[in-house]
Structure 1
Amino acid sequence: MPDLILHHYPSSPFSEKMRLALGYKKLPWRSVEIPHIMPKPDLVALTGGYRRAPVLQVGADVYCDTALICDVLEHVQPEPALYPPHLKGVSRIFAQWADTQLFWAAMGYNLQPKGAAHLFAKAPPEAAKAFAEDRKAMSSNMVRLRPGDATSAYRSYLRRIAHMVEEHEFLFGMDPCIADFAAYHGLWYTRNRVPLLADILNTTPAVNEWMDRMEAIGHGTKEPFSAADAIQVAIQAEPLPAGENLLVDSTFQDDHAIPLGTRVSVTAESFGPEPTEGVLRAATRTHYTLEREDARMGKLHVHFPRIGYVLRKLEGA
């Protein structure tokens, strides 16, 4: 069983998605808490630029984006399944919708002025300003819903989820799958981080009951771990070759006319515009792997999913 190191922070919705998934899989994990805004020097040293939370580290391999991290967990511990065979297609499609459309509607509602004021009620004024500037920089190339529009969409989405969980314990049956974890975390933020706005959930009692079942899964067994210790793990490890790491898909799929061994960048399509640069070591049907060198840690492999990320050849490469 590999040592799983999750770099996250407590109020991060996507981190909550992964904490619950680890609990569901009953996988022990090491917990490195990172800052919720920049600078994040230790995390960026691992990833080479990517700074969204969470990030999963296994030795000198760094896995970015919860969609990819869930694939890693499924490989490490196949049961209970996040992707049951009869739901593989529909659960992934639903999860992609939930991680984007549903999530941004929920956060547009959660971070309306009343919600933001609650979040920073006990913090100095400069903390709220720093958070707003940080998130503005991360969303510079995306369109954000206005609070009223987000509220309307959120109410509609909650009703649709209610229709699903009125019939089953979870979204697609008696057991949770990736769809449940992807749908939960934006709603978790409403209930746990901005409770003064949580009345919107009370209009759909079945959703509240489903959320209780999700919360009961818990976070499993975690061990507090320092960023310095995580860096030491990376120093002492070597990245695994393509095909031997925790992403079983290794067949080269060339959709960009960029051969392996080329210097490239990978950047998120929307939220979080910071690129990671390195040498392309894998480009499969599901993911990219970049090899990069860090002054402290030496050679690292950083992995990204294909969907949601842009691959570019660096000029002069």
Structure 2
Amino acid sequence: MPDLILHHYGLSPFAEKARLMLGHKRLAWRGVTIPATMPKPDVIALTGGYRRTPILQIGADIYCDTALICDVLEHVQPDPPLYPEHFKGMARVLAQWADTTLFWASMGYNLSPKGAAALFAGQPPEVGQAFAADRATMRAGMTSPRPGDATAAFRSYLRRLSTMVEEQPFLLGEAPCIADFAAYHPLWFSRVANRAMAGILDATPPVLEWMDRMAAIGHGQMSKVSSTEAIATAAAAEPAALADEVFQDEHGIALGSRVTVAAETFGPEPTEGILRAATRTRYTLEREDARAGRLHVHFPRIGYVLREVRA
């Protein structure tokens, strides 16, 4: 079993998604607590630019985005599965909706003026201001829903989720799958991270009961490790050999080219490196860091933009 290191922080909803998946897989893992806002020098040492939370580290391999982390965990520990045998496509599509549309409706509600005031209550004003400025940078170019519109959408989505769990314990059946973990974390933010905003959930009791079942999964066996130790782990390792997968060229960019990969929308900071793989599901970039050594940084294809670096 590989040594899994999750770089996360407590109030990150996507980190909660990853923590619960690790618990579902009954895996032991080590956690590095990272800052919620920039600067994040130790994260950037590993990723080369990408700074969204969480990232998963296995030696000198760095996996970005929970959509890809799901696939990695499924490979590491196939049972219990994240992808139901007869609903794999449906589960992935529902998860993608939850990670995007549902997530942004939830954040529009939770970070409304009332929600932001509750989230940062008791802290110096500059803490909330720094968070707002940081997230504004990450949302550059995005159109965010206004709080009222986001709240109305969030209520509608909660009702739709409620109908899915009225007569079965999880969204697609008797066992949790990737769709459950993706739909849970935006709601968890209201119920746990920003409890003053949890009242919106009261109108959908089946959703609350489903959330109880999800929370009971737990986070697996976590031990803490420092970012310095995690970087030393990367430096002492070599990237794992890449699987012999077909090169899927959609851009006319050859393997071995210097490229950047960046998120399409939120958190568009690019990572630059040498393109070592472009399969049907992911990109792999090789890069060097003075502290972390030679690394492979992996991204999912969906939601990310590949560009060649031209002299």
TM-score scaled by length of structure 1: 0.97
- Where in structure 2 are the equivalents of 1:38-77 lying within 5 Å? 38-77=38-77
What one-letter code is carried by the residue in structure 2 that aligns with 1:129?
Q
Partner of 1:246: none
Find runs of 4+ consecutive structure 1 residues off by over 4 angstroms: none
Distance 1:141 1:237 in 2: 38
Does residue 212 (structure 1) correspond to residue 212 (structure 2)? The answer is yes
Distance 1:123 1:38 in 2: 18
What one-letter code is carried by the residue in structure 1 that aligns with 2:190?
T
Q: In percent, how many aligned pairs have the same letter?
A: 67
- Offset of residue 250 of structure 1: 2.2
Does residue 107 (structure 1) correspond to residue 107 (structure 2)? The answer is yes
TM-score scaled by length of structure 2: 0.99
Does residue 285 (structure 1) correspond to residue 254 (structure 2)? The answer is no
Unaligned runs of 5+ in 1: 244-248
Does residue 311 (structure 1) correspond to residue 311 (structure 2)? The answer is no
Deviations 1:264-308 (A, max 9, x none): 000000000100000000000000000001011221000000000
Partner of 1:86: 86
Q: Is the 8 A contact 1:82 1:176 kept in 2?
A: yes
- Where in structure 2 are the equivalents of 1:7-22 lying within 5 Å? 7-22=7-22
What one-letter code is carried by the residue in structure 2 that aligns with 1:4?
L
Distance 1:298 1:107 in 2: 36
Distance 1:307 1:136 in 2: 23
Distance 2:54 2:245 in 1: 24
Q: Is the 8 A contact 1:142 1:271 kept in 2?
A: yes
Q: Is the 8 A contact 1:266 1:276 kept in 2?
A: yes
| C-alpha RMSD of the superposition | 0.7
- Offset of residue 84 of structure 1: 1.7
Q: Is the 8 A contact 1:141 1:273 kept in 2?
A: no
What one-letter code is carried by the residue in structure 1 that aligns with 2:200?
I
Partner of 2:170: 170
Partner of 2:144: 144
Give secondary structure in 2 for the equivalent of 1:91.
Answer: helix
Give secondary structure in 2 for the equivalent of 1:219.
Answer: coil
Tell me the number of residue pairs that the alignment of Structure 1 and Structure 2 aligns.
Answer: 311
Distance 1:240 1:168 in 2: 41
